Each structure stands twice: as structure tokens, then as C-alpha cells.
Amino acid sequence: MTTVLISGASVGGPALVYWLHGYGFTTTVVERAPAPSPGGYAVDFRGASLKVLDRMGILAEVEARATRMGSMVYVNESGKAVATTTPEAFSGELEILRGDLVDVLYELTAATTEYLFDDSIASLDQDESGVDAVFESGLRRRFDLVIGADGLHSNVRRLAFGPESSYVHDLGYYASVFTVENHLGLDHTGRIFTEPGKTVGTYSARDNTEAKALFYFASDPLSYDRRDVPAQQAIIAEQFAGLGWEVPRLLDGLRTTPDFYFDSISQIKLDSYSRGRVALVGDAGYCASPLSGMGTSLAIVGAYVLAGELHAAGGDHVAAFRKYDVRMRGFVAACQKQGVDGARWFIPESKWFMVLRNLTFRMLPYLPWRRLIDEMPLKVGNAIELTTYEDLPQRPAAPRP
């Protein structure tokens, strides 16, 4: 039986477990966090990924936990609406909090794989017949294959492909998202305020019981410690100091928030998604950036294709990885292009472009080519033709050691 070590238990990792287990592979997942991570921002699905969720049998459950967000409203400094988007523009065809999605995927796979939380791979050493992995905990194990599903700053990519600086393409922006009080009383909606190079927003979450604050800004590369949260919060406070609307109140939330996300808006570009017996899935291999709206779709579809090709190749991982690469390239390119376009649109660099954007949103319902614009993200979501791999044999979900 082929043994596969997967690093990362967020979206791509557990989705890969689901398929690999069904095809008869034995999987182990190592996750740096002490448990599946709850909460987080909203992520959405478009196009082909919905078909994959359906084939995994979890579409109904994801729909049951959907955010059901309505339109987002762009406001000016005094809170007056200046433009409104369609619900789909921000929330795709189906939107869920990332933590809820992680929950669904963990529940789906917990009994079929070995999960090692609170650990990480310290070294990988591959030869012709397998890969020796040493974990930070001191554990040593040998696997047939290793997959990195450990996100933008992938540990597996660093170990098998080399330093991140060779593959990361910063788009010139930073993003921060954290939970705050729903002090505006938003009901399944959000507000967005923009100044050239800066975008601040808030949207209701968990049936309006809380809200998320988001801060995006254009910047040259910043140097900061990725583990130093207070230092990152200070960057946000400094970048947005003096802005009007609800910005001071949202910044106040930094002091009490139970969670905090801060990172550059970047993409990962690799000439190949594998090196020998090691391959990458999701953000680790082809991050398209939060502003593509396609990251979760890429991870779910990528896991489906990678597992399907490994199964179809009947043990020839070289052939499987090559086909995985070929099948994903065009889809990744379309999603990454959307990431670049989305950033320009969401964080306009000039007053002039802000006015143009607001006018476009206002005029959209009356434009004859409205459907074309509406359907653009959907076209990207469907920029891959899903191969139907041989049906999964019904495998019992027996607990594993």
C-alpha cells in the first residue's frame, strides 16, 4: 500500500486524504497547529470546485454552514453608500468561514487517516524508493510520497524546492483580517471604505453575532517578524491612523480580537509542482492570493486532480505528477490573473480609479453587457475540465492507530 505524508490540515490536505484513502493509499497528516483551526475569514467556491464538493458528498453540509451573505456596500467617509455589489461578486457561488470548512473536512477524514497535530517536518531526505522524514517532535518515519499542503509559506516547499524567495511573487499589498464586534448591526452584509492604496471593511459573520474587520493596503515590501503579532498590529494601526468613517473603531478591535491574520498578498509560481517524490497542492504550490477569490477552489480541485492522477497511474508517481501539472496549469494561470486584476479593483491606487469603480458598480444593473461581467469569475472557476476518475470503492472509515 502506498504511504503518503501530507503536511497541512486546512483545505488541500484533508481533501487529498479523502480521495487518497478512497483509492487505497495510507495517509498521515502533520499539522503545526495544536488542532484544526477554527474561525477565520470567509472563503468562497466557484465553478468546478462545487462539483468536487458534490463528488466528496459534502456539498449539502457546506451549504448548510454557508455565510449567506448579501451585497457589499461601498461607503464614503460619512458612511453614505456610494456603490453596491451583487452578493456573488464578493461571496462567489457558495461562501463559508474557513474554520467551518476545515471542520467539515476534518470530520470527513478523521477516522480514515492519522493526524499528527502540534508537529512539523524538520527534514526530508528522498532516494529512489522513498522519503525519510524527521519531525520536530523527534519522530522518524519513511513514506513513499510527501505532499505539501501547508500554505503560502510552505515548509515542504522550502525543504524540497528551496527558499521561498525563489517562488514568491508579492503583488505589492498587505492584508489583515480579524474578528470584531458587529457594532454596525450588519445583517448578512458588509461595508467597504477606500482611500487610494487603502481599503477597510467589515462584514457580519456567524449569523450577525460577530463581524470581521479587514484592512488591505498597498506597500513596498515590509520587514517584520511573522510570529510577532503586536508588531504586525502596530503596522496596521500606523498605516490606517487618521482615516475617517468607522476606521478608528475597527482599529480599536485590535486590542480585543481573539484572532489576527496579517500577511503580504502574494502568489506562488513554480515551473513544476513536484520534485521527485514530493509534490505540492493548494496555496503551497500555486497560491493565487486572497483577492483572486479562488484559493479554496484551487486547493479542493488540486487535491481531486492529484489524487485522481496518482490512482490512475497505478503507482507511477512520476507520470501522475506530470499529468497533475499539465491538468492544473491553465486553471492556475486563470486564477492568478484574477488575483492580480482583483487587487487593482479592490485596492485602487488613485481617486480617479475609485470613482470609475464606484460608477461601474452603480451602472452595472443597467449595462447591456452586465451578464458578461457577472459571469467573468464563474468563467475562471470553470477554467478546468474535471476528469472523471474511476469511482471510489466503498472503503470503511475504520479508526486508524
Ligand X SMILES: Cc1cc2nc3c(=O)[nH]c(=O)nc-3n(C[C@H](O)[C@H](O)[C@H](O)COP(=O)(O)OP(=O)(O)OC[C@H]3O[C@@H](n4cnc5c(N)ncnc54)[C@H](O)[C@@H]3O)c2cc1C
Binding stretches for ligand X (CB under 6 A)? 7-13, 30-33, 37, 41-44, 98, 120, 149-151, 155, 175, 177, 261, 282-284, 290, 293-297, 299
Question: Does residue 59 contact residue 50 with C-beta atoms inside 8 Å?
Answer: yes
In angstroms, the CA 11 to CA 16 distance is: 9
Give the DSSP H/E element, type plus range, for residue 75. Answer: strand 72-75
Q: Which is nearer to ligand X, 269 or 362 (CB)?
A: 269
Residue among 67, 106, 41, 101 at smallest CA distance from 290:
41
In angstroms, the CA 62 to CA 100 distance is: 8
Q: How far is the CB of 379 from ligand X (least distance, A)?
A: 16
Q: Which is nearer to ligand X, 182 or 336 (CB)?
A: 336
Q: Which is nearer to ligand X, 76 or 136 (CB)?
A: 136
Q: Which is nearer to ligand X, 190 or 282 (CB)?
A: 282
Q: How far is the CB of 118 from ligand X (least distance, A)?
A: 9
Q: Which is nearer to ligand X, 246 or 283 (CB)?
A: 283
Q: How far is the CB of 393 from ligand X (least distance, A)?
A: 26
Q: How far is the CB of 290 from ligand X (least distance, A)?
A: 4
Q: How far is the CB of 366 from ligand X (least distance, A)?
A: 27
In angstroms, the CA 161 to CA 156 distance is: 8
In angstroms, the CA 311 to CA 333 distance is: 25
In angstroms, the CA 137 to CA 139 distance is: 6
In angstroms, the CA 24 to CA 325 distance is: 22
What residue has cell string 527534514?
123
Q: Which is nearer to ligand X, 258 or 396 (CB)?
A: 258
Q: Is 335 helix (H, G, I), strand (E, B) or coil?
A: helix
In angstroms, the CA 159 to CA 122 distance is: 8
Give me 374's grid cell: 457577472
Q: Which is nearer to ligand X, 285 or 308 (CB)?
A: 285
Q: Which is nearer to ligand X, 28 or 155 (CB)?
A: 155
Q: How far is the CB of 264 from ligand X (least distance, A)?
A: 10
Give me 185's grid cell: 448591526
Q: How far is the CB of 314 from ligand X (least distance, A)?
A: 27
Q: Which is nearer to ligand X, 185 or 221 (CB)?
A: 221
Q: Which residues are within 8 A (CB) of 271 and not within 5 positions of it... i.e. 6 or more apart?
A: none
Q: How far is the CB of 108 from ligand X (least distance, A)?
A: 14
Q: Which is nearer to ligand X, 13 or 348 (CB)?
A: 13
Q: How far is the CB of 352 from ligand X (least distance, A)?
A: 27
Give me 321's grid cell: 505528477
Q: How far is the CB of 152 from ligand X (least distance, A)?
A: 6
The residue whose Cβ lies closest to ligand X is: 295
Q: Is 94 helix (H, G, I), strand (E, B) or coil?
A: strand
Q: How far is the CB of 237 from ligand X (least distance, A)?
A: 18
At residue 6, φ and ψ (nearest 5 deg) are -120, 130
DSSP characters for 14-61? Answer: HHHHHHHHHTT-EEEEEESSSS------EEEE-THHHHHHHHTT-HHH
Question: Does residue 231 contact residue 242 with C-beta atoms inside 8 Å?
Answer: no
In angstroms, the CA 98 to CA 350 distance is: 32
Q: Which is nearer to ligand X, 8 or 308 (CB)?
A: 8
Give me 166's grid cell: 525563489
CA 367-291-382 angle, to 5 degrees, is 65
